A and B are shown apart, each in its own frame.
Chain A
Amino acid sequence: DVKVTQSSRYLVKRTGEKVFLECVQDMDHENMFWYRQDPGLGLRLIYFSYDVKMKEKGDIPEGYSVSREKKERFSLILESASTNQTSMYLCASRNSGSNTEAFFGQGTRLTVV
Chain B
Amino acid sequence: GDSVTQMEGPVTLSEEAFLTINCTYTATGYPSLFWYVQYPGEGLQLLLKATKADDKGSNKGFEATYRKETTSFHLEKGSVQVSDSAVYFCALGAYNQGGKLIFGQGTELSVKP
Is A98 an interface position by the 8 A CB rule? yes
Chain A contacts for B101, CB-based, 8 A: 94, 102
Given contacts A42-B89, A42-B106, A43-B106, contact A96 B44 (CB under 8 A): no
Interface residues on B, range: 20 to 34
Is B81 an interface position by the 8 A CB rule? no
Stretch at the interface among A64-72, A73-81, A104-112: A104-112
Report whether B99 and A42 are in contact in the complex, using a CB–CB cutoff of 8 Å. Answer: no
Q: List A residues 1-55 near B (Cβ within 8 Å).
A: 4, 30-31, 33, 40-43, 45, 48, 50
Is B69 an interface position by the 8 A CB rule? no
Chain A contacts for B94, CB-based, 8 A: 98
Closest to A29 in B: B99
Report whether A106 and B43 are in contact in the complex, using a CB–CB cutoff of 8 Å. Answer: yes
What is the CB-to-nearest-CB distance from A88 to chain B, in angstroms, rounded to a whole number? 9
Is A62 an interface position by the 8 A CB rule? no
Q: How far is the CA of A94 from the CA of B93 in the complex (A)?
A: 11
What is the CB-to-nearest-CB distance from B77 to chain A, in angstroms, rounded to a whole number? 20
Closest to A44 in B: B103
Binding site for A on B (CB under 8 A): 30-32, 34, 36, 41-46, 49, 51, 89, 91, 93-95, 97-101, 103-106
